[in-house]
């Protein structure tokens, strides 16, 4: 794996490998010293063309816990405002030889485009309304921890599917992991043709009780001025997940930030069914796993493969030795990897 651009590029084995790796990193987060030297001397560049505190700081924290150097580059207040193109910005920043670029833009396909312009591993941290693959991976991770397995689970994604990169990545990721996905929301916000991704479509929440997992999407206020729905009040009355609609055995997810009183009622946000803070927590370890997979994972696995070929006695080659954190070196990185 050279880049993480889209969930479409990942098969089930790859998703499971990243999730398993994240589980190992979760131990690190529980330690007093929350840092491993896995990516020491590597440089991770956060390149954000959209305002984002949560995703950006989650990536920053993930990189730092792996001992990588982190540079943050926000488009506002930078050369971008002076009219520099995406290509020129990327080429300029590439001169600093980043090992990975975490990229957030308002444009579909931008991450893939950038991957053709520079040698760094590209992590798509959101490209327009297209995909947000690390969000989907952390959601899979969170659900696996909660449910054990996602196979056969019924997952409802509720809300503004049309403008949601989270929805698109999650439809793909949940299905890859064996779940049955239904999208529900106002007909104006369910894009025509979305069912060809394999999901069901509902325009009411009448059958929401059949869901094992309810995944609510953020309803952005600017959609009102564009008249996608008549009013937030009407949206809430038709689609808000509240105590009446959410069953006691259902799991509630949300990518944040939550609009209390719009897509979720306050009571369900605070309910035991909600795993919203667990999702945030998962963000760091899953992004650690992604950065590790891209910058050290394949090298480590190759190292292990060599070691196994040599009878399992010898140490992994230098790269693997240097990059694998202790906990992982002991377990053997090859376990989840199918090269």
Partner 1 sequence: MSAVEPLIGGAGDPAEVLLRDVRALDPRAGLDGRCDVLVSGGRVAEIGEPGSLAAAEGAETIDGQGRLALLPGFFDPHVHLRTPGQEHKEDIETGTRAAAAGGYAGVLAMPNTDPVLDSAPLLGSVREIAARRARIPVGFLASITRGLQGELLTEMAELAEAGAVGFTDDGRPVESAGMLRKALQYQRLCGGVLALHEEDRTLSRGGAMNEGAVSAALGIAGIPTIAESTMVARDAAIAGYEDGRVHFMHLSCESSVAAVAVAKEAGVRVSAEVSPHHLLLTDEDVRALDTRMKMHPPLTAEPDRQALIEGLRSGTIDCVATDHAPHARDEKEVPFEQAPMGTTGLETAFAALYTGLVEPGLMGLGLLVERLTAGAPLFGLPVARIAAGAPADLALVDLEARFVAGERGWESRSENCCFAGRTLQGRVLLTIAAGAVAHRDRTLEMVGA
Where does this chain bind partner 1 (CB under 8 A)? 85-87, 105-110, 112-113, 127-131, 164-165, 168, 191-194, 196-197
On whether the CB atoms of residues 21 and 190 are closer than 8 A, the answer is: no
* Kind of pairing between the strands at 100-105 and 154-158: unpaired
The distance of closest approach from Cβ of residue 9 to partner 1 in the complex, given in angstroms and rounded to an integer, is 13
Nearer to partner 1, 38 or 184 (CB): 184
Nearer to partner 1, 87 or 260 (CB): 87
Rounded to whole angstroms, the Cα distance separating 245 from 156 reads: 13
Nearer to partner 1, 22 or 110 (CB): 110
Residue positions counted in the chain: 339
Rounded to whole angstroms, the Cα distance separating 87 from 245 reads: 47
In the sheet where 180-184 sits, what is the strand order? 200-202, 180-184, 154-158, 213-216, 251-253
Rounded to whole angstroms, the Cα distance separating 328 from 323 reads: 10
For 226, phi then psi, to 5°, come to: -90, 5
Nearer to partner 1, 89 or 265 (CB): 89
Nearer to partner 1, 77 or 193 (CB): 193
On whether the CB atoms of residues 146 and 251 are closer than 8 A, the answer is: yes
The distance of closest approach from Cβ of residue 16 to partner 1 in the complex, given in angstroms and rounded to an integer, is 23
The distance of closest approach from Cβ of residue 183 to partner 1 in the complex, given in angstroms and rounded to an integer, is 10
For 173, phi then psi, to 5°, come to: -65, -45
Tokens coding 74: 């926000």
The distance of closest approach from Cβ of residue 226 to partner 1 in the complex, given in angstroms and rounded to an integer, is 9
On whether the CB atoms of residues 156 and 211 are closer than 8 A, the answer is: yes
The distance of closest approach from Cβ of residue 105 to partner 1 in the complex, given in angstroms and rounded to an integer, is 7
On whether the CB atoms of residues 59 and 123 are closer than 8 A, the answer is: yes
Three-class DSSP category at 327: helix
Tokens coding 229: 């729905």
Nearer to partner 1, 19 or 166 (CB): 166
For 70, phi then psi, to 5°, come to: -120, 130
Nearer to partner 1, 109 or 319 (CB): 109
Nearer to partner 1, 191 or 332 (CB): 191
Nearer to partner 1, 113 or 251 (CB): 113
Three-class DSSP category at 206: coil
The distance of closest approach from Cβ of residue 26 to partner 1 in the complex, given in angstroms and rounded to an integer, is 31
The distance of closest approach from Cβ of residue 61 to partner 1 in the complex, given in angstroms and rounded to an integer, is 27
The distance of closest approach from Cβ of residue 154 to partner 1 in the complex, given in angstroms and rounded to an integer, is 21
Three-class DSSP category at 97: coil
Burial of 277 (0-12, 13-18, 19+ CB in 10 A): exposed
The distance of closest approach from Cβ of residue 104 to partner 1 in the complex, given in angstroms and rounded to an integer, is 12
């Amino acid at each position: 794996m050279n880049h993480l651009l889209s969930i479409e590029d990942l098969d089930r084995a790859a998703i499971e490998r990243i999730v398993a790796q994240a589980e190992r990193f979760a131990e690190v987060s529980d330690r007093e010293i929350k840092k491993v030297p896995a990516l020491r001397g590597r440089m991770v560049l956060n390149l954000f063309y959209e305002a984002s505190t949560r995703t950006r700081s989650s990536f920053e924290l993930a990189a730092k816990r792996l001992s990588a150097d982190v540079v943050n580059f926000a488009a506002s207040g930078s050369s971008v405002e002076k009219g520099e193109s995406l290509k020129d910005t990327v080429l300029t920043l590439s001169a600093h030889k980043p090992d990975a670029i975490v990229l957030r833009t308002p444009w579909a396909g931008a991450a893939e485009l950038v991957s053709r312009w520079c040698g760094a591993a590209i992590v798509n941290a959101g490209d327009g309304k297209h995909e947000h693959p690390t969000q989907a991976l952390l959601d899979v991770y969170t659900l696996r921890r909660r449910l054990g397995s996602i196979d056969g689970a019924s997952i409802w994604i509720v809300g503004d599917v049309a403008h949601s990169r989270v929805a698109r990545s999650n439809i793909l990721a949940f299905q890859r992991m064996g779940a049955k996905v239904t999208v529900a929301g106002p007909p104006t916000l369910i894009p025509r043709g979305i069912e060809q991704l394999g999901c069901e479509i509902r325009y009411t929440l009448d059958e929401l009780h059949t869901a094992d997992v309810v995944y609510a999407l953020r309803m952005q206020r600017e959609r009102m001025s564009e008249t996608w729905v008549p009013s937030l009040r009407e949206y809430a009355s038709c689609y808000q997940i509240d105590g009446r609609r959410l069953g006691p055995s259902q799991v509630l997810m949300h990518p944040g930030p939550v609009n209390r009183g719009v897509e979720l009622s306050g009571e369900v946000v605070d309910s035991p069914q909600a795993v919203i803070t667990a999702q945030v927590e998962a963000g760091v370890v899953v992004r650690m796993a992604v950065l590790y997979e891209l910058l050290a994972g394949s090298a480590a696995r190759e190292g292990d493969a060599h070691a196994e070929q040599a009878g399992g006695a010898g140490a992994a080659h230098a790269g693997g030795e240097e990059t694998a954190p202790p906990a992982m070196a002991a377990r053997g990185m090859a376990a989840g990897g199918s090269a």
